[in-house]
Amino acid sequence: MHNVECDLGVAAIVRRARSILLVRELHGRYQGRWGLPKGYVDTGELPRNAALRELKEECSIEGEVLGVQSVRERLLNGTPALFIAYMVQVHPNAQPSPNDEVSEAKFVPIDHFEHLDWISDAMHKMAVNAVNSKHLLSSVDYEATRGHPYVLHTLPEHRGGRS
């Protein structure tokens, strides 16, 4: 097996009707800017679990991963940098509340997206696509049968007749 050092970030996309849960950064280089609940993957942690952890840390709500909605890849000073955005389902009555990393956490309608100061164009695009797209890579968790963390993300099986 060949190992490559990698910068690995994740986000949780929570959709409610035509709105997405967004956070406003409180500190750092993105202070005051809007984006998805996000962060880095810790050693020994599956990326999907990191997305759920970040959602809980930044918005005080828990969720369940439905699948992968977006993947961004780039080189950062010669090092591969991946960012995986997971579609997450939360309880319909869940109300986000910000922690000490974000100043606001709220559902924002898509028609307000253009007026926000986004962390990045890529994050803006992820949010727009999450509202407008009905497709994502579904997740199958094989941990119970494999005996270790093992998740497959794949296109859902096509059901029905030929196209």
Q: Exposure of 82 by Cβ count < 10 A (0-12 exposed, 13-18 middle, 19+ buried)? A: middle
Whether 68 is covered by a domain: the verdict is: yes
Q: Are 68 and 46 in contact (CB under 8 A)?
A: no
Containing structural domain, residue 119:
7-154
Whether 1 is covered by a domain: the verdict is: no
CATH number at 17 reads 3.90.79.10
Q: Could you report the per-residue pLDDT of 31-81, keeping only the tens digit for each?
A: 999 999 999 999 999 999 999 999 999 999 999 999 999 999 899 889 999
Rg (CA), the chain: 16
Whether 160 is covered by a domain: the verdict is: no
Q: Could you report the per-residue pLDDT of 106-123, keeping only the tens digit for each?
A: 999 999 999 999 999 999
**Model-level pTM?**
0.89
Number of domains in the chain: 1
